[in-house]
Chains A and B, each alone.
Chain A
Amino acid sequence: MEKEKRLAQLLALMSALNFSVILYYALVPWITTRRICASFSGYDFLAFARQIPPRPWIVPLLAIGQYFVLCVLSYAKLKWITEKFMHRLFVCFLELLLCAGIIISLGFYYSGIALVVLSDLVHYVRNSFYRLCFIAALVFMFAFGQYEVIFPFARGIAFNAYLSYYNPVVKGILSGAESFMASMNILLFTVYMILLFTGQRAENTRIKKLNDKLNQANERLRDYAVNMENMTEMRERNRLAREIHDTLGHTLTGIIMGADAALVVFDALPGEAKKRIELIAQTARDGLNDVRRSINALRPDAIEKNSLDEALKTMFSNFHLTTSAQIHYTQNAGELRFASDEEDTIYRIVQEGMTNAVRHGHATEISITITRNENMLTIYVDDNGVGCPSVSEGFGLRHMKERLDMLGGLLVCGNREGKDGSRGFYLLANFPVREREGMHSD
Chain B
Amino acid sequence: MTKKRLLKFGGIVLVLAAMLFGCWKLHSEITITVGVYAGSYWNTPNGNCYQIFDDAISSFEAAHPGIFVEYVNGIPTDFYSEWLAEGILKGEEPDLFLVMPEDIELFASSGILKPLDTMMAEDPDFSPSPYYEPCLQAGKFGGTQYALPYESVPTIMFVNKTLLQQNGISMPENNWTWGDFYRICRRITKPEKHQFGVYGYHWLHAVYSNGAALFSGDGKSCYLADQRVQDAITFSKHLDAMNQGYTVTARDFDLGNVAFRPFLFSEYRAYQPYPWRVKKYSGFEWDCVCMPAGYEGDNTSELHTMLLGISARTRHKKAVWELAKLLSIDKDVQKELYVYSHGISPVRSVAEDDEILLKMREDIPGGGSFDGKVIRRIMDTAVVVPHFDKYEQALRMAESAVLEKSDTQMLAAQREIDIFLNGS
Interface residues of A (CB under 8 A from B): 33, 36-37, 40, 42-43, 45-47, 49-58, 155
Q: Report whether A58 and B91 are in contact in the complex, using a CB–CB cutoff of 8 Å.
A: yes
- Residues of the B chain whose Cβ atoms lie less than 8 Å from the Cβ of A57: 91
Within 8 A of A (CB), among B79-93: 81-82, 84-86, 88-92
- Measured in the bound complex, the distance between the Cα atoms of B88 and A416 in whole Å is 89
- Residues of the A chain whose Cβ atoms lie less than 8 Å from the Cβ of B90: 33, 37, 55-56
B110 within 8 A of A: yes
Q: Report whether B91 and A42 are in contact in the complex, using a CB–CB cutoff of 8 Å.
A: no
20 A-B pairs besides A55-B313, A58-B91 with CB distance below 8 A are A33-B89, A33-B90, A37-B86, A40-B82, A42-B86, A42-B88, A43-B81, A43-B84, A45-B85, A46-B85, A47-B106, A47-B389, A50-B106, A50-B389, A51-B111, A52-B88, A52-B312, A55-B90, A55-B92, A56-B90
Q: Nearest CB to that of B106 among chain A residues?
A: A47
- Measured in the bound complex, the distance between the Cα atoms of B87 and A33 in whole Å is 10
- Residues of the B chain whose Cβ atoms lie less than 8 Å from the Cβ of A58: 91
Question: B67-97 vs A: 1/0 string, CB under 8 Å?
Answer: 0000000000000011011101111100000
Query: Could you write out 14 A-B pairs with CB less than 8 Å apart?
Result: A37-B89, A40-B86, A42-B86, A45-B89, A46-B85, A46-B106, A47-B85, A50-B106, A50-B110, A51-B110, A52-B111, A52-B313, A56-B90, A155-B111
B109 within 8 A of A: yes
- Measured in the bound complex, the distance between the Cα atoms of B81 and A47 in whole Å is 11
Closest chain-A Cβ to B387's Cβ sits at a distance in Å of: 12
Q: Report whether B110 and A49 are in contact in the complex, using a CB–CB cutoff of 8 Å.
A: yes
- Residues of the B chain whose Cβ atoms lie less than 8 Å from the Cβ of A36: 86, 89
- Measured in the bound complex, the distance between the Cα atoms of B91 and A54 in whole Å is 7
B112 within 8 A of A: yes
Given A51-B110, A51-B111, A52-B112 in contact, is the A46-B91 Cβ separation under 8 Å?
A: no
- Residues of the B chain whose Cβ atoms lie less than 8 Å from the Cβ of A43: 81-82, 84-86
- Measured in the bound complex, the distance between the Cα atoms of B82 and A33 in whole Å is 13
Tally of B interface residues using CB under 8 Å: 18
Closest chain-B Cβ to A57's Cβ sits at a distance in Å of: 8
- Residues of the A chain whose Cβ atoms lie less than 8 Å from the Cβ of B88: 42, 46, 52
Closest chain-A Cβ to B394's Cβ sits at a distance in Å of: 15
- Residues of the B chain whose Cβ atoms lie less than 8 Å from the Cβ of A42: 82, 85-86, 88-89
Closest chain-B Cβ to A12's Cβ sits at a distance in Å of: 34
Which of A47, A50, A56 touches B91 (beta carbons < 8 Å)? Answer: A56
Q: Nearest CB to that of A51 among chain B residues?
A: B110
- Measured in the bound complex, the distance between the Cα atoms of B89 and A52 in whole Å is 7
- Residues of the A chain whose Cβ atoms lie less than 8 Å from the Cβ of B81: 43
- Residues of the A chain whose Cβ atoms lie less than 8 Å from the Cβ of B112: 52
Question: B320-358 vs A: 1/0 string, CB under 8 Å?
Answer: 000000000000000000000000000000000000000
Which of B81, B85, B89, B90 has the most A CB atoms < 10 Å from its CB? Answer: B89
- Residues of the B chain whose Cβ atoms lie less than 8 Å from the Cβ of A37: 86, 89-90
Closest chain-A Cβ to B397's Cβ sits at a distance in Å of: 19
- Measured in the bound complex, the distance between the Cα atoms of B112 and A54 in whole Å is 11
- Measured in the bound complex, the distance between the Cα atoms of B110 and A21 in whole Å is 27
Q: Report whether B91 and A53 are in contact in the complex, using a CB–CB cutoff of 8 Å.
A: yes
- Measured in the bound complex, the distance between the Cα atoms of B391 and A47 in whole Å is 13
- Measured in the bound complex, the distance between the Cα atoms of B312 and A356 in whole Å is 85
Q: Report whether A53 and B89 are in contact in the complex, using a CB–CB cutoff of 8 Å.
A: yes
- Residues of the A chain whose Cβ atoms lie less than 8 Å from the Cβ of B92: 55
Question: B386-403 vs A: 1/0 string, CB under 8 Å?
Answer: 000100000000000000
Nearest first, the 3 A-B pairs at minimum CB distance are A55-B91, A42-B86, A42-B85
Which of B91, B92, B111, B112 has the most A CB atoms < 10 Å from its CB? Answer: B91
- Measured in the bound complex, the distance between the Cα atoms of B313 and A55 in whole Å is 10
- Measured in the bound complex, the distance between the Cα atoms of B91 and A58 in whole Å is 10
Closest chain-B Cβ to A324's Cβ sits at a distance in Å of: 57
- Residues of the B chain whose Cβ atoms lie less than 8 Å from the Cβ of A40: 82, 86
Closest chain-B Cβ to A107's Cβ sits at a distance in Å of: 13
Question: B111-153 vs A: 1/0 string, CB under 8 Å?
Answer: 1100000000000000000000000000000000000000000
Closest chain-A Cβ to B138's Cβ sits at a distance in Å of: 19
- Measured in the bound complex, the distance between the Cα atoms of B89 and A45 in whole Å is 9
Closest chain-A Cβ to B202's Cβ sits at a distance in Å of: 25
- Residues of the A chain whose Cβ atoms lie less than 8 Å from the Cβ of B91: 53-58
- Measured in the bound complex, the distance between the Cα atoms of B107 and A51 in whole Å is 9
Q: Nearest CB to that of B311 among chain A residues?
A: A52
- Measured in the bound complex, the distance between the Cα atoms of B89 and A362 in whole Å is 78
- Measured in the bound complex, the distance between the Cα atoms of B93 and A33 in whole Å is 14
Within 8 A of A (CB), among B281-313: 312-313
- Measured in the bound complex, the distance between the Cα atoms of B112 and A439 in whole Å is 111
Question: B20-54 vs A: 1/0 string, CB under 8 Å?
Answer: 00000000000000000000000000000000000
